Structure 1
């Protein structure tokens, strides 16, 4: 049976999740918290399999609570459930070790899919699944991969370079990274680079060509295409808007 901690200051959301669980006859023991502080205390007491965590709450928000919970109960899977569709939130959630990031209102199908995925992974972890190399703890692998990207985003990073850094085969690492972060490695790398580019646009007077090169894109045209894909704006338009704020 899964132990679930629902953390939200809105009772309606918690009642909605409990309704889905009841309607689908899921074997889930549900506990509740109304803010981040309460969530930290209950997580230490219950050590739940899964926490559904809202981000915007009084007293302590979901991001702060997650940071504390991960130190106390590192194996707990935390899924952010929020109405705020912002990359900054998603990026920080992933950096803190979040299992997933879902937007409200979550559909019954998405919730069932989440629970089924957790159950499937639990069964897989109980089996004799081995890699050809010694696998470090999961959080350590993802943390190491993200730190490598953070330190080398200006270079020509390839998936095999990061896989080698964390001690896994490229094929295994690719599947592992997607399963843990819910995105392909290439997407995460591009998103990280675009965030760095936005930071340079805000804080420096570097030309777009210089910024492109500094975040790992040798061709300005390609950088512009990637930037527009993730930001729905050209780099020049983004910089112009930022300067008028």
Structure 2
């Protein structure tokens, strides 16, 4: 059975082709969540490789990227079985783009330039939900084992 401490640790994949945004986000993330693992990918192809390798708990995706958009990437990772939260960061604010993001089941949508206070508030809530889901899964496993 996993320890509660281990259930709290998250792996987050941030995908953005803008190196300045990636560096700033990574810096702010490490300040706010020093024990969590942050991974970066510059495009959708790199993100898919890292997804298969590290199985992230949470995705934070830019929308406009070369080769594969953040929306296309979200659709692909969901098609591959990912059921967790996806947060989008984008300079776009048109209703069609927002609707397309919501159709992927996104947990949040934040406009660039990023309001880090609002983003990290949302990430706090999202990570709590991940933790609670893990805790419940652990309880269900324990109940199943107790029946035997």
Report which of the two has the higher share of helix. Answer: 1
Report which of the two has the higher share of strand. Answer: 2
Q: Give 1:124 deviation, angstroms.
A: 3.0
Q: Give 1:26 deviation, angstroms.
A: 3.2
CA distance, structure 1, for counterparts of residue 110 and residue 120 of structure 2: 13
Is 1:106–2:114 an aligned residue pair?
A: yes
Q: Which runs of 5+ in 2 are unaligned?
A: 1-8, 138-148
Deviations 1:99-156 (A, max 9, x none): 211111222212321221022212432249xxxxxxxxxxxxxxxxxxxxxxxxxxxx
Q: Residue 43 of structure 1 contacts residue 73 of structure 1 at CA under 8 Å; is this kept in 2? A: no
Point out which structure has higher relative CO (alpha carbons under 8 A, 6+ apart): 2
Q: Give 1:25 deviation, angstroms.
A: 4.7
TM-score (norm 2): 0.78
Q: Give 1:21 deviation, angstroms.
A: 2.0
Q: Which runs of 5+ in 1 are unaligned?
A: 129-245
Indicate the SS of the match to 1:39.
helix
Is 1:49–2:84 an aligned residue pair?
A: no
1:6-21 matches, within 5 Å, as 6-21=14-29
CA distance, structure 1, for counterparts of residue 68 and residue 107 of structure 2: 20
CA distance, structure 2, for counterparts of residue 25 and residue 38 of structure 1: 23
* Alignment coverage as a number of residue pairs: 128
Deviations 1:167-226 (A, max 9, x none): xxxxxxxxxxxxxxxxxxxxxxxxxxxxxxxxxxxxxxxxxxxxxxxxxxxxxxxxxxxx
CA distance, structure 2, for counterparts of residue 44 and residue 21 of structure 1: 22
Larger radius of gyration: 1
